[in-house]
């Protein structure tokens, strides 16, 4: 059975009314189309009435199929393709670590369309001038070790983020052209964030802070390298239990989780690098859930529930501009015109049933996203002209990739060979791949790489990927004028002016061929049908589910 989830959002402007938040709607529509069927159905955002009719019929069918006795306890085993590097919210940049962090360390809140989904925070209140935000925590929160969670921990977490010696990539989100954001404790449950200038997307930025306890992580000079990360302590629905390096990581339920004790006793993340081995494990019941590719849906739908949902992820090719050949703009543009976006999409998703072409570097649902940019449609003659204009001869490039699956890389190699560029394909294990992308001392090891990111719907968050001095600007792209546009857009209060600024930013970055956008893809997950509560667990990008406390077993 396939369960396909599609969330269609429209966007709003934040306004202050009587000291609280309200929404001034451009179009205030949020609707969830949930279709459950025995065969794949592609869904677009369309007529609400027809969608509702389908939803009612299919949900009742699903409820009938879901009949079974609910069981408290038990264990659910997820497949991950690599071990975690450092289980800490300040240093996660791989899927496994981000997944573990999501369930061990709870956020303050999540923005869900019009609404704020509060977690550790009870409320957030911006000031009338947008220059400060008060955050009040829920009362009687505790850490996994039983210690009280309070405002001191939030102040400590934020100050650690801002400490340059701790080297967190999150720091960039709290620095503006006018200075750094500050934090001030008001009482045991309340803090105030003080901004040096207006940052319209700051509400989203605060919500993503994942607190960690001062009594555990305080007074550590280098948290990233500390052994304390071998036994992380957070406040999420599951707490760290055991790690077998290179094999598995086990979490156990947190009885004092503020949303209520989770149904499952344990969640296990089993490391299976090879996809073929993971598929065998799923068939044999050795694991209960894993991400699958579009070509495997038919294989697994008879014995598993298949969840397909829009991940709002951008798949793209990194052009490494950290001092190598790809500093040459005409070379980057030549490569972009030599590639066939549609074929690269199909190599990953088979068809547009599970993905759509991407032309902007914004994710598909990002506010102010536009396709009115240079699209670099496949044009071999244009590519050859630009290559000639680059002035480079005998070009040899290295494209790195993870594991053994290199179908897309072989396509790139073939396309670029047609215009006279030789591409060496270099396989790497997961750790080496991320070192090449994120560690400066390794960034000379490659020129091209496939990657993907999910930064959400707030456009200002993407600045960290492209601003010259940002830690997350792994490609080395630099454009001073674009940096100024990012700063201007972040503090622009007028919605129409802000939209024009972000549209200009997209046009300029794509015109520079800073990277090559390919597609926006669906996440597809196969889950053992003995596990229920999947919709309530909120299927989500990267970590598969937002809230594992909602999942339970039936017999």
Convert the pLDDT of each residue in 115-164 to its tens digit.
899 999 999 999 999 999 999 999 999 999 999 999 999 999 999 999 99
435 alpha carbon, distance to own chain's centre: 19
Spatial separation of the C-alpha atoms in residues 197 and 427, rounded to whole Å: 45
Number of H helices, E strands in the chain: 15, 28
pLDDT of residue 12: 33
Say if residue 13's pLDDT is above 80.
no
428 contact partners, CB below 8 Å, separation of at least 6: 400, 401, 402, 436
Given a contact cutoff of 8 angstroms between Cβ atoms, the answer to whether 147 and 213 are in contact is: yes
Same fold, 106-229 and 312-521: no
Spatial separation of the C-alpha atoms in residues 150 and 188, rounded to whole Å: 6
Q: In which band, very low, low, confident or very high, does the pLDDT at 43 lie, cut at 50, 70 and 90?
A: very low
Say if residue 22's pLDDT is above 60.
no
**pLDDT (average), residues 387-416:** 94
Given a contact cutoff of 8 angstroms between Cβ atoms, the answer to whether 522 and 311 are in contact is: yes
Strands (E), 321-360: 355-357
Spatial separation of the C-alpha atoms in residues 198 and 207, rounded to whole Å: 17
Given a contact cutoff of 8 angstroms between Cβ atoms, the answer to whether 55 and 35 are in contact is: yes
Say if residue 66's pLDDT is above 70.
no
Which residue did the predictor score with more confidence, 502 or 13? 502
Give the number of other CB atoms < 10 A from CB of residue 370: 16
Bridge partners of 304, per DSSP, are none
Spatial separation of the C-alpha atoms in residues 453 and 519, rounded to whole Å: 11
pLDDT of residue 2: 52
**Residues 292-323 pLDDT 10s:** 988 899 999 988 999 988 888 899 999 999 99
Which one is the CATH code of 312-521: 3.50.50.60, 3.40.50.1970, 3.40.50.720, 3.10.105.10? 3.10.105.10
pLDDT of residue 1: 54
Nearest to 472 by CA among 171, 222, 176: 171
Spatial separation of the C-alpha atoms in residues 330 and 528, rounded to whole Å: 50
Domain 106-229 has CATH 3.90.76.10: yes
Largest CA distance in the chain: 70
Q: What is the pTM of this model?
A: 0.75
Q: The tokens of 250 are what? A: 């086990």
Domain residue limits, the chain: 106-229, 312-521
**pLDDT (average), residues 533-548:** 92
Which residue did the predictor score with more confidence, 36 or 329? 329
Mean pLDDT computed over every residue of the chain: 87
**pLDDT (average), residues 332-342:** 98
Range in 64-73, 274-283, 493-502 with the lowest mean pLDDT:
64-73
Say if residue 256's pLDDT is above 50.
yes
To 5 degrees, how large is the angle CA 346–CA 351–CA 357? 70
Spatial separation of the C-alpha atoms in residues 375 and 361, rounded to whole Å: 11
């Amino acid at each position: 059975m396939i369960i396909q989830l599609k969330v269609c959002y429209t966007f709003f402007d934040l306004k202050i009314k009587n000291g609280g938040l309200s929404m001034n709607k451009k179009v205030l529509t949020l609707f969830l189309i949930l279709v459950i069927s025995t065969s794949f159905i592609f869904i677009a955002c369309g007529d609400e009435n027809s969608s509702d009719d389908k939803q009612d019929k299919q949900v009742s069918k699903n409820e009938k199929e879901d009949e079974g006795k609910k069981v408290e306890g038990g264990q659910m085993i997820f497949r991950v393709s690599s071990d975690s590097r450092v289980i800490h919210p300040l240093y996660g940049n791989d899927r496994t670590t981000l997944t573990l962090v999501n369930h061990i360390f709870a956020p303050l809140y999540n923005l869900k369309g019009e609404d704020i989904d509060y977690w550790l925070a009870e409320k957030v209140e911006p000031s009338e001038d947008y220059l400060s935000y008060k955050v009040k925590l829920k009362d009687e929160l505790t850490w996994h070790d039983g210690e009280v969670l309070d405002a001191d921990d939030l102040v400590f977490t934020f100050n650690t983020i801002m400490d340059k010696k701790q080297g967190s990539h999150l720091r960039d989100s709290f620095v503006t052209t006018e200075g750094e954001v500050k934090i001030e404790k008001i009482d045991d449950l309340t803090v105030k964030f003080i901004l040096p200038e207006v940052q319209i997307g700051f509400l989203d930025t605060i919500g993503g802070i994942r607190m960690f306890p001062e009594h555990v992580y305080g007074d550590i000079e280098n948290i990233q390298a500390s052994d304390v990360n071998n036994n992380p302590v957070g406040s999420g629905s599951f707490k760290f239990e055991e790690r077998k390096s290179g094999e598995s990581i086990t979490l156990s339920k947190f009885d004092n989780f503020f949303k209520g004790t989770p149904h499952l006793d344990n969640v296990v993340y089993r490391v299976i690098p090879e996809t073929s081995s993971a598929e065998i494990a799923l068939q044999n019941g050795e694991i209960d859930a894993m991400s699958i590719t579009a070509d495997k849906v038919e294989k697994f739908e008879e014995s598993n529930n298949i969840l397909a949902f829009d991940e709002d992820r951008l798949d793209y090719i990194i052009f490494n501009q950290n001092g190598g050949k790809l500093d040459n703009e005409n070379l980057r543009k030549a490569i972009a015109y030599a590639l066939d976006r549609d074929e690269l999409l199909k190599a990953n998703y088979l068809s547009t049933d599970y993905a759509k072409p991407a032309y902007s570097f914004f994710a598909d649902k990002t506010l102010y996203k536009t396709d009115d940019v240079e699209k670099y449609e496949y044009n071999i003659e244009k590519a050859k002209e630009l290559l000639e204009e680059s002035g480079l001869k005998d070009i040899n490039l290295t494209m790195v990739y993870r594991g053994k699956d290199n179908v897309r890389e072989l396509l790139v190699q073939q396309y670029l060979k047609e215009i006279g560029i030789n591409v060496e394909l270099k396989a790497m294990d997961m750790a080496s791949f991320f070192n090449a992308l994120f560690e400066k001392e390794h960034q000379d090891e490659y020129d091209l790489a496939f990657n993907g990111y999910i930064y959400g719907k707030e456009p200002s968050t993407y600045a960290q990927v492209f601003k010259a001095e940002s830690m997350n600007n792994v490609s080395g792209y630099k454009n001073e004028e674009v940096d100024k546009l990012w700063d201007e857009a972040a503090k622009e209060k007028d919605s129409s002016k802000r939209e024009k600024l972000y549209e200009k930013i997209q046009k300029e970055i794509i015109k520079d061929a800073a990277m090559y956008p390919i597609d926006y893809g669906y996440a597809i997950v196969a889950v053992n049908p003995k596990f229920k509560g999947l919709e309530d667990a909120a299927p989500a990008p990267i970590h598969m589910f937002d809230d594992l406390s909602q999942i339970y077993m039936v017999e």
